[in-house]
Amino acid sequence: MNQVEASASSGRRLESVFGALVEDLRAFIRHRNVSYEEYHRALEFLAQVGAAGEVPLLMDVFLETMVDEVNHAGRPGTESCLEGPYYVRGAPLLDPPYVLPQRANEDGEKLFFSGKVRSMDGAPLADALLDLWQADAAGRYSQFNYEEPRFNLRGRLKTDDQGRFEVRTVVPAPYEIPKAGPTGKLLLALGRHAFRPAHLHVKLSREGFAPLTTQLYMDGDPWIDSDVVGAVKAPLVARLTKHDLPADLEERGLKRPYFTLGYDFTLVSAERRMGKP
C-alpha cells in the first residue's frame, strides 16, 4: 500500500469511526433525555479536563482497559495490560548486573524482580528487551511527580542466552491518582476511591514477535480487588516474597531484609499474531 492509498484508507476509517461515535452519542442523549443544563455541565467538565492536562488520566481511568480488551481479547501468551499515562520513551539501556536507576538512599524495600521470556512453544528467547518503569516507595513517578533524576526507576534490559533476567529495584507503593483536578472530583461524585494497587510496568519486544505491554501486581495488595482503573487481571498477580534469613542476606550481600518477585513471560510470534499458521 503506497502513501496515497494509506492516507485514503486512514480517512475512510476516521469517517467511519467518528460517524459511529456521533451517532452513539446522539442515541445516548435521546435515550437518557439529557437536558441543556446537563449538556452544558458536561461541556464545562471537558473544558476543565483539558485545561488541567488530564485528558490522558481521564481516558486511563474510564476507557483504556476497554481498548486493551478489544485489541488483545483472545490473544495467547502473557496477558496484556494498559500502558497508563506515565510511560516515558528513551529510558537508559542498562548493563548487567541490572539495577534500575535510583537516587542516593532511595526509599523503599529492596526488590529483586526476575523471570524468563519464552515463545509459545516454551523455547527461551535470548536478547528480548524489557522496558521497565514503576512508582517509587511513595507512589510517585519520575518526570511526573518529580523531575530529577529524569529516568529514576526506569530502564531497559535484555534477557541472557537462556531467556532469563533479574533486576534490582525497590518495592513500588500503591498510590492515589491525582484527585485535586476534575477527574478526581468526578470520582468523588461517583463515590469511588482513587487508588491503584502497587504494580510494575513492562514493555517486552523481540524481533519476530508481537510486542507486549503489561503490568504485574502484588498478591495481597489492599487495592487489588478495587483498582480505580479496573486493570488488574488474575494471571498478572504475582507473589511478593520476603527474605530475612541470615543466609539469604549473606548471599545477596545485604544487611536488611529484601523481597523477590518472579514472573515468566510468553511472547507470541508476529506471524501468529497476524493470523498466519
Q: What range does the domain containing 203 cover?
A: 75-273
Q: Is the pLDDT assigned to residue 268 strictly greater than 80?
A: yes
The answer to whether position 220 is within a domain reads yes
The answer to whether position 128 is within a domain reads yes
Under the banding of pLDDT at 50, 70 and 90, the label for residue 272 is low
The answer to whether position 21 is within a domain reads no
The answer to whether position 41 is within a domain reads no
Q: Is 31 a catalytic residue?
A: no
pLDDT one-digit tens code per residue, 189-217: 999 999 999 999 999 999 999 999 999 99
What's the mean pLDDT in 136-165?
97
Under the banding of pLDDT at 50, 70 and 90, the label for residue 277 is very low
Element containing residue 263 per DSSP (H, E): none
Helix intervals (H) in 63-114: 64-72
- The answer to whether the Cα torsion of 170, 174, 179, 184 is positive or negative is positive
> Can you give the pTM of this predicted structure?
0.89
The answer to whether position 150 is within a domain reads yes
Instruction: Look at residues 87, 57, 75 and name the one whose alpha carbon lies nearest to residue 199.
Output: 87
pLDDT one-digit tens code per residue, 6-15: 776 778 899 9
The pLDDT, as a whole number, for residue 74 is 83
Catalytic residue among 175, 217, 258, 263: 175
What's the mean pLDDT in 16-20?
94
Q: Is 150 a catalytic residue?
A: no
Q: Is 199 a catalytic residue?
A: yes
The answer to whether position 47 is within a domain reads no
The answer to whether position 116 is within a domain reads yes
Q: Which three cell numbers stand for residue 185?
A: 472530583
The answer to whether position 54 is within a domain reads no
Helix (H/G/I), strand (E/B), else coil: 250: helix
- DSSP state letters, 134-182: E--TTS--BTTTB-SSTTTTEEEEE--TTSEEEEEEEPPPPEEPP-SSH
Catalytic residue among 154, 199, 206, 217: 199
Catalytic residue among 98, 201, 206, 217: 201
Domain of residue 197, CATH code: 2.60.130.10
Based on the structure, what is the number of domains in the chain? 1
Say which residue, 130 or 2, is predicted with more confidence. 130
Q: Say how many CA atoms lie within 13 Å of 96 toward its Cβ.
A: 8
Under the banding of pLDDT at 50, 70 and 90, the label for residue 224 is very high
